[in-house]
Amino acid sequence: MGVRLLRFLALAAIVGGIVTGAASSARQVVGGTPIQVQSAPWAVFVQSDTDAFELDCSGSVIDATHVVTAAHCMFDTNGTKVDAADITVLAGISNFQAPDSTEQQRPVSSLRIHPGFDRTNETSGIDDVAVLTLAAPLDLSGPAVRAVALPVAGAPFPRGASTTVAGFGLEDAHASSANGPLESSNGTVEWQGGCGGFSFNDFALYDNGIILCEQSPTSAICNGDSGAGVVTTSGTPTLVGVADAGEDGCPPGSDGIAAYVGAPEILSFIQGNDSPPTAPRGSRATTSDLSWGAPLVPRDTLRCAAAGWPGSVQLSYAFFDVSSGTILQNGASSTFVLTAADIGRTVECETEATNSGGTTVGYTNATPRVEPPPKVRIARIAPLAGRRGRTLIVSVVLTAPAGLSGTFGVCVAPPAAVAARRCVNRTEPFGASGAFRFAVPLAIKSSAPVGAARIAIDAVAGLSAAKTTATLRVAKS
């Protein structure tokens, strides 16, 4: 009996969690393109064959003696772990059904399964990674068998990275048997925690520090692609994911789910650590909230709060433009002051909980659209009267709605022959509103012309400004 595995997730079970379907007949990259192995020389065929059971998966060469694959590929349908002696790795092949001069077949001498993987809890899929040690080294000198690079420790999450997935399975999700070609699909890594129809499932919400999802518009990973590498296509090919699961039926365009190799919890295990650190885990008690004052205008302060993270984590906060994904501010500060550049944006906060095992993120609600600042107005000023050589107090009243803050001030500017320009200002907090009175002392010159003069009055209230004029009648002293 042959079985080609890739765990299935049912969209109907988004709220309840991951649902694992029964193992089905051979399938591979649905909608993918047949390729020669030289285009993905790290891709290998992993087969476990006993008298009663055959299990076929994909994998990636990381050095001459080690292959990374999915942990669930190391168990039969009864949950029994396979023996290393029953596993064979075929490298340098473009079709596992057809002999190839570049083929290198190696038995497996030992295998390591990530200690965090729980075969009895297939609804989690956490730490679904295994490392196979080959009985003899591969020859990596030719173009058909090459090692893929691992991420650099501390590298940022590869959001938006272009990727390729090459796996051995069947092109038709409804076929009953495998025909053997290596097929690939090109996709893009989703934002951390984003997973298409599964974005609100528990693993995407709470375990995204060790999970990566990638999406291809025309194809999907499927049975037989378990363990295949999610590899970046820009620069040095780098293994960022190990294919783990997909949507039931493998519809093209659906997200593929992979173990995130860049997480220290995964990377350090692959590199030989059998007690890797554990990345932060969220739960239903973990919250991320964003608050602000009203109205939502420039100079308002957004406040991001995170709570409910277990253990000791370091928190940081990223404020970003929802529409473009542009990061507006990122760091330890949980507050962000809006500026005029934010008018028209909606803003969200990503809370980041980090420890030695990785970084898990949570997302807040988004703000409404940031509106332009409200308008300040200058109340009507009655005609003024003053005498030569005397000081006149000019009373100016500003009316301002809530949403203006910072410097509030008034400048009174008579003709230069009458008096020098004078300004008064003060600072008001965000949310202040109503009438703001200013008394501006105007020293009328002793030589000021007698008669009527027009004075200019300028006002500022935060990011809003207003202008008006008033009449000043100058009399002799």
| Integer Cα distance of 433 and 439 in angstroms | 18
CA dihedral of residues 8, 256, 193, 69 (deg, nearest 10) = 90
Rounded CA separation 298/232 (Å): 39
Q: Distances in Å between the alpha carbon of 9 and those of 20, 68, 413?
A: 6, 22, 72
Q: What single DSSP character describes residue 251?
A: -
CB neighbour class for 72 (10 Å; exposed up to 12, middle 13-18, buried from 19): buried
* Secondary structure of residue 264 in the 3-state scheme: helix
Is residue 256 a contact partner of residue 187, using CB atoms and an 8 Å limit? yes
- Cβ distance 316 to 280 under 8 Å? no
Start-end of H helices in 108-221: 202-206
Torsion angle (degrees, nearest 10) of CA 149, 152, 158, 161: -40
3-state secondary structure of 85: helix
Residue given tokens 């080294």 in the structure block: 137
Q: 232: Cβ–Cβ under 8 A, 6 or more apart, which residues?
A: 158, 161, 162, 163, 238, 240
Residues with Cβ within 8 Å of 467's Cβ and at least 6 positions away in sequence, in order, are 378, 456, 457, 458, 459
pTM of the model: 0.82
DSSP conformation class of 327: E
Distance in angstroms (rounded) separating the CA atoms of residues 245 and 159: 19
| Interatomic CA distance for residues 404 and 299, integer angstroms | 8
DSSP state of 244: E
Asked if 192 and 279 count as a contact pair (C-beta separation under 8 A), the reply is no
Q: What is the pLDDT along the chain (477 residues), one digit of tens a residue?
A: 333 344 444 432 222 222 223 223 223 444 468 899 999 999 999 998 876 667 889 999 999 999 999 999 998 878 889 999 999 999 999 999 888 899 999 999 999 999 999 987 655 579 999 999 999 999 999 999 999 999 998 899 999 999 999 988 655 555 555 578 999 989 999 999 998 877 778 888 899 999 999 988 766 666 667 899 999 999 999 999 999 877 766 667 678 889 999 999 999 999 999 999 999 999 999 999 999 999 999 999 999 999 999 879 999 999 999 999 999 999 999 999 999 999 999 999 999 999 999 999 999 999 999 999 999 999 999 999 999 999 999 999 999 999 999 999 999 999 999 999 999 999 999 988 999 999 999 999 999 999 999 999 999 999 999 999 999 999 998
Domains for the chain: give ranges and CATH numbers.
Answer: 2-270 (2.40.10.120), 287-363 (2.60.40.10), 377-475 (2.60.40.10)
Both tokens of 240, joined, read: 């960022």
* pLDDT reported for residue 203: 82
